[in-house]
Structure formats: C-alpha cells, structure tokens
C-alpha cells in the first residue's frame, strides 16, 4: 500500500512538472523585496525569468506585465495564447486578455502552481503591480502610476489590479485584474498596507 501511494505521488508530481514546463503565465510568488523598485522593466523581466527557471519553465522568454511612461504592458507580452501552471487557458490573445480575461483566484497561480492569497486570506496579496489602464496601456497624465518606471521604493504610487477580482465594492474597477486602484506608496510596507506584496504578472512571449 505504501509503495502504491509513493508511486501515485510520483506520477502526480511528474504531471505537475510537465504542466509547469508548458505554462506561459504566472503571478510571481514573491517580488524582489524592494517594494515597487523592480530594477525597471529589465529587472522585472529578469525576475520573471529567474522564477520560471526555478519552476522548470526557462525555455521561453518571459516578460513582466508592466507599463511605463513610454511602453504599454500589452505590447510586451507577445501574442498568446497563455496558460497557467495547471494548463488552464487564461487568454487566447492580447485582445481576449483585456476583454475577457480568465484570471481569477482559481486560475491566477504562481510559477509553482499555487494559488495567490486574495481578499479574505491572511495576509491579503491580491494587489498586483501593473501601472496600466484596463486596456493594458500606459496611464496618461502628470501623475506617476509606475513608481518611477519601477525604480522607486519610497514615495510615489503604482496602479494595481486585483487578481482575485474582488475589492471593497462591486464596481468594475474593484473587479479589474489589471487596473483597480493606485497604491499608497512604493515601499514594501505601503504595498502591503492596501493588500499587496510587490507581486506582478509574468507572460511568456510566444
């Protein structure tokens, strides 16, 4: 019986590893640890690549879903389709991602195939850094919504989305996966104060 259980566990683990190898989307299990200072887009992309490699999915080129004052998040991530670590499709292409995204608490998994804490969990980590409009574009205007293009960990603000599609109200913004509200600041403590942890989305360029 014990041998059978071990065999079943090995088969299950092999299946998970195969799915992770084929995944093309995940939420970072942790940020670099400097709040919204991700080392710019280059540093954020490198963090995606590092986590993907540790999960056995380094054969693809990974990009962070982040906008800056000169670049749109939607233009950085390739054409799709994208699937999570369990093989569940979250979007067919860029338009589908922004018009009919299947990212939610059940499908918004980290690179290890684990769910990310949402509203109601302790601690809540559903604020995902994006710096983007609902269409995945840079936010126009004088107010910085990217914490200095992802180089600040003090004063400032960043637009975040709710991966679990739940907020304090039932508004469209509260249910947005990529454009819910600005953060209180750019430090790790400020991000945690509104239900975040410096996490962001990673997509494989296809």
Q: Please report, for the domain that includes residue 132, its CATH number.
A: 3.10.100.10
Indicate the number of domains in the chain. Answer: 1
Q: Is 121 exposed, middle or buried (0-12, 13-18, 19+ CB in 10 A)?
A: middle
Domain contains 87: yes
Domain contains 15: no
* Type and span of the H or E element at 193: helix 188-193
Domain contains 161: yes
**What pLDDT, on a 0 to 100 scale, did the predictor assign at position 16?**
46
List, for the chain, all residue ranges whose pLDDT scores fall below the cut of 70.
1-21
DSSP H stretches of helix in 62-183: 94-100, 147-150
Domain contains 4: no
Domain contains 198: yes
Strand partners, 115: 109
Domain range enclosing 48: 26-204
**What pLDDT, on a 0 to 100 scale, did the predictor assign at position 14?**
41
Q: Are 64 and 50 in contact (CB under 8 A)?
A: no
Exposure string of 83-107, with b = 16+ CB inside 10 Å and e = fewer, is bbbeeeebbeebebbbeebbbbbeb
The string of DSSP letters for 32-73 reads -SSTT--SHHHHHHHHHHHHHHHTT-TTS-EEE----SS--G
Q: Kindly report, residue by residue over 38-48, the tens digit of the pLDDT.
A: 999 999 999 99
Domain contains 1: no
Residue with tokens 């998040």: 73
Residue from 174, 23, 167 nearest 109 by CA: 23
Q: Is 170 exposed, middle or buried (0-12, 13-18, 19+ CB in 10 A)?
A: exposed
**What pLDDT, on a 0 to 100 scale, did the predictor assign at position 15?**
44
Q: Are 43 and 150 in contact (CB under 8 A)?
A: yes
Domain contains 16: no
Domain contains 144: yes
**What pLDDT, on a 0 to 100 scale, did the predictor assign at position 19?**
54
Q: Are 87 and 21 in contact (CB under 8 A)?
A: no
């Amino acid at each position: 019986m014990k041998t059978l259980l071990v065999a079943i566990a090995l088969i299950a683990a092999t299946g998970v590893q195969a799915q992770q190898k084929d995944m093309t989307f995940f939420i970072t299990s942790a940020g670099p640890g400097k709040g919204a200072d991700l080392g710019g887009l280059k540093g954020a992309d490198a963090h995606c690549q590092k986590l993907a490699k540790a999960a056995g999915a380094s054969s693809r080129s990974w990009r962070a879903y982040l906008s800056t004052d000169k670049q749109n998040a939607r233009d950085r991530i390739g054409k799709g389709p994208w699937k999570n670590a369990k093989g569940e499709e979250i979007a067919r292409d860029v338009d589908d991602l922004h018009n009919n995204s299947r990212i939610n608490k059940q499908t918004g998994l980290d690179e290890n195939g684990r769910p990310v804490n949402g509203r109601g969990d302790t601690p809540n980590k559903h604020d995902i850094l994006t710096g983007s409009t609902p269409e995945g574009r840079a936010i126009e205007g004088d107010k910085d919504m990217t914490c200095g293009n992802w180089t600040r960990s003090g004063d400032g603000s960043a637009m975040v989305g709710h991966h679990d599609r739940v907020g304090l109200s039932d508004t469209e913004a509260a249910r947005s996966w990529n454009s819910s509200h600005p953060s209180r600041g750019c430090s790790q403590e400020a991000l945690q104060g509104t239900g975040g942890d410096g996490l962001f989305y990673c997509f494989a360029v296809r």
